[in-house]
Chain A
Amino acid sequence: MTPRKRARTMRGAQYGVLLLVAAVLALTADWGEIRRAFFDVEVAKAQFPEIITTALVNTVIYTGLGFAFGLALGLLLALMKLSSVPPNRWLATVYIEFFRGVPALLVFIALGYGVPLAFQVRVDKLVTVMLALGLVGAAYMAETIRAGIQAVPKGQVEAARSLGMSHGRAMISIVIPQAFRIVLPPLANELILLTKDSSLVYVLGLALEEQELSKFGKDALNDYRSLTPILVAGLCYLIITIPLGHLVRRLEAKAARAK
């Protein structure tokens, strides 16, 4: 057999296997049951409009707050990691290793229950969500931003300093704006991850109007004894994450072109 013929046979075999699997599934599955469980149109309709006006909106708010705080803290940590003062670097390293290593769920529990217990304070739920998501996101974003800052050519700082800019001014006006262009795609990826992590807020206990997509879907599942709300909630996540994914690819393509 020539190599080309062999390749064609292999491809044909793969199509064959896929078709076979599909056929077996189609013949053996109880379609009525699956339809009732996942695609119950009445149940799906009943989720609207709250799943959008409350749940989706809350997911976006929680994620947005967490991302904004995480970005600011991540930038600070990145600058600490690049600092010429060793304790700054140590602190940042410890922070990053810690928050990358522990489950986000644990951070939510610690902030939601531990902090109020330990310090006898009541913390607003939005603040708790922002802190928990931000603390975790910052650990990932710090490494990304640090790499971005280091990817800015040394000549940029030298040109800025030669024009009389202080180190700080050169960072703010010259290095960081360029670094952010470099790290925009990985940051958008981080935003996608945070969107999904925002579901962890359920451990804080949510009032009806505070529910985000996952909790909303789970409650509806209990109410309707149907998986359909979970499917709808899942699709709502995709409404957020797929455009973000497209954005990432567009930004990556643009970054590749700019080189």
Chain B
Amino acid sequence: MTTDAPPEGPAIEVAGLHKSFGDLEVLKGIDLTVRRGEVVCVIGPSGSGKSTLLRCVNLLEQPTAGKVTVSGTEVTDPDVDIDRMRRRIGMVFQAFNLFPHLTVLGNLTISQRRVLGRGKAEAERLARAHLAGVGLGDKESAYPAQLSGGQQQRAAIARALSMGPELMLFDEPTSALDPELVGDVLAVMRKLADEGMTMLVVTHEMSFAREVADRVIFMDDGQIVEEGPAEQVVTDPQHQRTRLFLARVLDPAAAEVKEVG
């Protein structure tokens, strides 16, 4: 990436981040910088703290220690207006979390109107544009329950985009989907990456990581074990733990052999 350093500095800067739930230390000192326009994928075994890291970036979880800075504003500063900051950080969840009592259009307009104070006409115009962008132009009056998982997740992405965020966080956006629906969602994310969106993506989709990410981070046990260019981390990992994890994800049967051998 050769983008000039914007005046705000990096999109995300995480320094010395610790997070504990009671006695359980889930994040054990994370340092991470995501430049503007960069796509960073986070991989790692279950329970390694990937979701927690993501949720600390928009303060859905309150870090125990450390500093998180988004576009030059320290979100961990107790005096910061976190609601105002969250408008600039889109988040997409594994379980979609669409609002079931609202239509797709309502899902996309409610926070534009209630949070940003946009008028109905403008909010709907933007919502329709984003729905068309994710291939759901004909679904605006459907309720979430009437959509497939893949459609729901694309609507959720459009909902986040309709707030005009500077960066997007994705927490395993395709893990809850039937295999045949994964492709549509990944295609939307790929397009978003091509348009220059800053993205921090927790995923198990290795081909997506390899093809779309600028950088891949491997987490294990609350720490970043390895990070580097996507191609390198995925095809030529330096650490034994990364190798074992990738072997298990890419080819479960082969992993057994390796671990035994």
Contact = CB atoms under 8 A, between A and B. Distances in A.
Interface stretch (A55-63, A117-125, A169-177): A169-177
A165 B89 contact: no
B208 interface: no
A156 B83 contact: no
B86 A161 contact: yes
Q: Chain B interface: which size bin? A: 20 to 34
Nearest to B145: A258
B163 A155 contact: no
A28 to B, nearest CB: 59
Contacts of A178: 99-101
Interface in B95-129: 95, 97-101, 110-111, 114-116
Interface in B115-171: 115-116, 145, 156, 159-160, 163
A158 B60 contact: yes
A181 interface: yes
Nearest to B156: A159
Contacts of B87: 163-164
Nearest to A258: B145
B97 A165 contact: no
Interface in A136-177: 153, 155-156, 158-166, 169, 173-174, 177
A156 B86 contact: no
> Which one of B86, B89, B97, B110 has the highest number of Cβ atoms from chain A below 10 Å of its Cβ?
B97
B163 A163 contact: yes
Given A174-B99, A258-B145, A160 B83 contact: no
B86 to A, nearest CB: 5
B93 A165 contact: no
Interface residues of A, number: 19
Given A163-B86, A165-B111, A165-B115, A158 B163 contact: no
B83 A164 contact: yes
A173 B110 contact: yes
Given A162-B89, A163-B160, A164-B84, A169 B97 contact: no
Interface in B57-100: 58, 60, 83-84, 86-87, 89-91, 93, 95, 97-100
Contact of A181 (B60, B93, B101, B110): B101
Given A169-B114, A173-B110, A173-B114, A162 B99 contact: no
A156 B97 contact: yes
A interface majority secondary structure? helix
Contacts of B90: 162
Given A169-B115, A173-B110, A173-B114, A162 B100 contact: no
Given A158-B60, A258-B145, A163 B97 contact: no
Contact of B111 (A153, A155, A158, A163): A163
B99 A156 contact: yes
A121 B235 CA distance: 84
Given A163-B86, A164-B83, A164-B163, A155 B114 contact: no
A41 to B, nearest CB: 51
B60 A161 contact: yes
A158 to B, nearest CB: 6
Nearest to A166: B83
A228 B145 CA distance: 52
Contacts of B95: 155
A107 to B, nearest CB: 35
A158 B115 contact: no
Contacts of A160: 99, 111
A174 B101 CA distance: 8
B204 to A, nearest CB: 20
> Which one of A156, A164, A174, A258 has the highest number of Cβ atoms from chain B below 10 Å of its Cβ?
A164
A188 to B, nearest CB: 19
B93 A158 contact: yes
A235 B160 CA distance: 55
A258 B89 CA distance: 32
Which 5 A-B pairs have CB atoms at the shortest separation, nearest pair first? A164-B87, A159-B97, A163-B111, A162-B91, A155-B97
Given A163-B115, A164-B86, A174-B110, 5 more contacts: A159-B97, A159-B156, A162-B91, A181-B101, A258-B145
Interface of A: 153, 155-156, 158-166, 169, 173-174, 177-178, 181, 258
14 contacts: A159-B98, A159-B99, A161-B60, A161-B86, A163-B160, A163-B163, A164-B86, A164-B87, A164-B115, A165-B111, A169-B114, A169-B115, A174-B99, A181-B101
